[in-house]
Chain A
């Protein structure tokens, strides 16, 4: 019943959606790779960023893509401060404490947003939200194409920075061998906070890419984090390339399962895959070891 008229556009749509998933996963996997914790506040921070992008447009009239330029540094600062002054000190050096602190943060942020903005679902209307780019016989929405390009650029930039800059090298050093890094003069608390800040800045960019076509309510971010978690497991914990490819793959799986199983059941494909990866390749595609 399904012909190539559908398959090609569905594949492209999946890749576009997957790119956004990949960016959420990139932040998550970065934090995991260095701090060795799953950041439970990731979804709540994404929601906060969505609200920030929403109000930047609604109140100040700033285009979401422009807003990304100042929201990313702003959220880097928020992430840095959270890790440096809240999560780090509260953890007392124990990983499982960090886990609980981020969980607590998630609950606090979500409920603060719920209290401030009620449960309403909000959207913004942009003139270009329904413009399309024509590729062959598929029509791709402009915001999705933009999102795809931005994500690829950010992933490349991040990869480059990790490889060639001093901070990047320090981050990798801390990730590999914390004690050794500390002995050679790296400020570990600072590097932890920088990493957390980078992860949070990824979320701010994600939010700005999402808001033209997505909606925001106090739980909006959670849907992405569950998927991002799947991607991190699929790609291998802590791997930038794994997050990127995993994200694209999951986007395509979601698009096709939506196509074949119906919109109501679409996301089931992602979680079936999640269970399969855990069963047969727990270290993920790019993971070094379980």
Chain B
């Protein structure tokens, strides 16, 4: 909003107009329900943010094309787009704007640090907030009634990742014993590395070193050198897309060849964009991350549509798509765009029409208990699911064959 929108005359005009039109909103059946769609579409996280926005917008288009919110007389969903500019402050500012624009709920945030700040601000207005990706567990342990996370958090992801790492290593005859963690230094990377650093030794792995770096970082030479000197069996990168790609390419450039690159929520490790642009650097990278249900027809149809648009089907797309569907279902059951009633409907949600390989939807303190990650690996020019067995489309290739 530009500054001149805030002058007194405009303010009076708009509030007068709102007051006059309010009764007609109440009468009119099917007037639009505004939903805040918040992503970091500029700045360091802009690629992920833009992907998230695409997913949310497609879901809204689909819902509207299928007749809108039926309980509200076919009301259309109207997206109020926001740019968090890759910072928590940017996210907060957008939540304030969305609140004054009268949104019924907000979906998005992407980065943990943005989700933490934005959901807190939304809580002040009792505004329902659905976290699309943000994985830090404190997002749902602060006791905020308005905040819901459909996807899995750190705790679950790290546990699954470690279980699967042990399983993959055991299956290959336990070739890996040492690990190095490279993580970005905001809430996401630091939290994850702390968790891994305490749990890896319990599972029989020795953590040689933990290296942190800021986002953005434009040079990973020193980091790659340290990895080369320590020569760990497994490298675990935990960073966002740009840094992940740069780090993987720098390792390739510096001829660092561990037995495995195993990411937990690797920013690019299970991204079709990365695999297409840098197939050599991406080859055999394993990841424990968000992924769509490869047996879900809706998920595969959406993939075709995204491919047809020449976009990449990254997890931001289908997670945001699923979150918007979840919200629409809640509004439908609430039978109202009232914020408190939407929160009530989300609390009791058993929504099953999403695209994810999750168990039954059930929210406890805002966290979906059915949410779970899967393990993927880049094999050839594709990304395959290697674990859990019920979804797997390929067997893990470990240790990495030497080129």
Residues of B close to A215: CB separation below 8 A: 216, 218
What are the interface flags for B68-94 relative to A under an 8 Å C-beta threshold, 1 for contact and 0 otherwise? 000000000000000001000000000
In whole Å, how far is B114's beta carbon from the nearest beta carbon of chain A?
15
Q: Decide yes or no whether B302 CB sits under 8 A from chain A.
A: no
- B42 contacts A118, C-beta separation under 8 Å: yes
Identify the stretch in B19-27, B129-137, B252-260 within 8 Å (CB) of chain A at 4 or more residues: B252-260
User: A119-B42, A119-B43, A120-B46 given as contacts; is B225 within 8 A of A259 (CB)?
Assistant: yes
User: Contacts A6-B225, A121-B44: A130 and B218 contacting too (C-beta < 8 A)?
Assistant: no
Do residues B253 and A141 form an inter-chain contact, with CB atoms below 8 A? yes
Question: Quick one: which of A2, A5, A262, A263 has the most chain B CB within 10 A?
Answer: A263
A10 near B225 with CB under 8 A, answer yes
Q: Is the CB of B214 within 8 A of A130?
A: no
Among A120, A125, A132, chain B packs the most CB atoms within 10 A around the CB of A120
A83 to chain B, nearest CB (A): 32
Q: Report if A184 contacts B (CB, 8 A).
A: no
A130 to B85, CA, bound (A): 29
Counting CB contacts under 8 A, is B138 at the interface? no
Shortest distance from the beta carbon of B211 to any chain A beta carbon, whole Å? 7
Contact B218 A213, beta carbon cutoff 8 Å: yes
Q: What mask results when residues 245 to 268 of chain A are scored 1 for a CB within 8 Å of chain B, else 0?
A: 000000000010011001110100
Residue in A closest to B228 when the chains form the complex, CB atoms:
A5
Contacts of B252 in A (CB 8 A): 130
> Is the CB–CB distance between B213 and A264 below 8 Å?
yes
Q: A120-B43, A264-B213 are in contact. Are A139 and B255 (CB under 8 A)?
A: yes
Q: Is A13 an interface residue (CB 8 A)?
A: yes
* Residues on A with beta carbons closer than 8 Å to the beta carbon of B249: 130
Q: Which residue of A lies closest to B216 (CB)?
A: A121
| A255 contacts B222, C-beta separation under 8 Å | yes
Separation of A19 and B46 alpha carbons in the complex (Å): 31
Task: Tell me the smallest distance from the CB of B184 to a CB of chain A, in Å.
Answer: 9
Asked if B226 is at the interface of the complex by the 8 Å CB criterion, the answer is yes
- CB under 8 Å from chain A, chain B span 238-297: 249-250, 252-255, 277
**B211 touches which one: A3, A130, A255, A263 (CB < 8 A)?**
A263
Give A5 to B230 CA distance when docked, in angstroms. 10
B42 to A: closest C-beta gap in Å: 5
B6 touches A (CB below 8 Å): no
B177 CB, nearest partner CB in chain A, Å: 18
Contact at A121–B43, with CB atoms within 8 Å? yes
A159 CB contacts on chain B under 8 angstroms: none
Assess whether B213 is in contact with A262, with CB atoms less than 8 Å apart: yes
Query: How far is it, in angstroms, between the C-alpha of A120 and the C-alpha of B217 when the chains are bound?
Result: 15
The interface residues of chain A lying within 8 Å CB-to-CB of B213 are 262-264
CB pair A6–B228 under 8 Å, yes or no, is yes
Contact A139 B211 (CB under 8 A): no
Looking at the complex, which one of B218, B229, B255 makes contact with A214 (CB distance below 8 Å)?
Answer: B218
- Once bound together, how far apart are the Cα atoms of A119 and B42, in whole Å? 7
A130/B228 contact (C-beta < 8 A), A263-B212, A264-B185, A264-B213 known:
no
Contacts of B223 in A (CB 8 A): 263
B221 smallest CB distance to A (angstroms)? 5
Chain A: minimal CB distance from B226 (Å): 6
With A119-B85, A121-B43 as known contacts, state yes or no: A139 contacts B222, CB within 8 Å.
no
Is B43 within 8 A of A5, CB to CB?
A: no
Query: Smallest CB–CB gap between B252 and chain A, Å?
Result: 7
A9 within 8 A of partner (CB)? yes
Contacts A119-B85, A132-B253, A141-B253 hold; do A9 and B221 have CB atoms under 8 A apart? yes
* Distance in angstroms between the alpha carbons of A141 and B42 in the assembled complex: 29
Q: Which residues of A contact B222 (CB under 8 A)?
A: 10, 13, 255, 258-259, 263, 266
Given A9-B225, A259-B225, the answer on whether A139 and B212 have CB atoms closer than 8 Å is no
A259 in complex: contacting residue of B216, B217, B218, B226, CB < 8 Å: B226
Most buried by A among B42, B214, B216, B219: B219
A279 to B255, CA, bound (A): 43
CB-based contact A139/B254 at 8 Å:
yes
**Which chain B positions have C-beta within 8 A of A17?**
219
Give the chain A neighbours of B229 by CB distance below 8 A: 2-3, 5-6
CB-nearest residue of chain A to B43: A119
Give the distance in Å from the alpha carbon of A121 to the alpha carbon of B216 in the complex.
Answer: 10
Closest to B254 in A: A139
Shortest Cβ distance from B221 into A: residue: A13
B211: chain A residues at CB < 8 Å are 262-263
Interface string of A91-119 (1 = CB under 8 A from B): 00000000000000000000000000011
Distance in angstroms between the alpha carbons of A276 and B284 in the assembled complex: 48
**Residue pair B226, A6 in contact (C-beta under 8 Å):** yes
Sample of 15 A–B contacts (CB below 8 Å): A2-B229, A3-B229, A5-B228, A13-B221, A119-B42, A120-B42, A132-B253, A141-B221, A214-B218, A215-B216, A258-B222, A263-B211, A263-B213, A264-B212, A264-B213
Q: Kindly list the 3 A-B residue pairs having the minimum CB-CB distance in the complex, ordered from nearest.
A: A263-B213, A6-B229, A6-B225
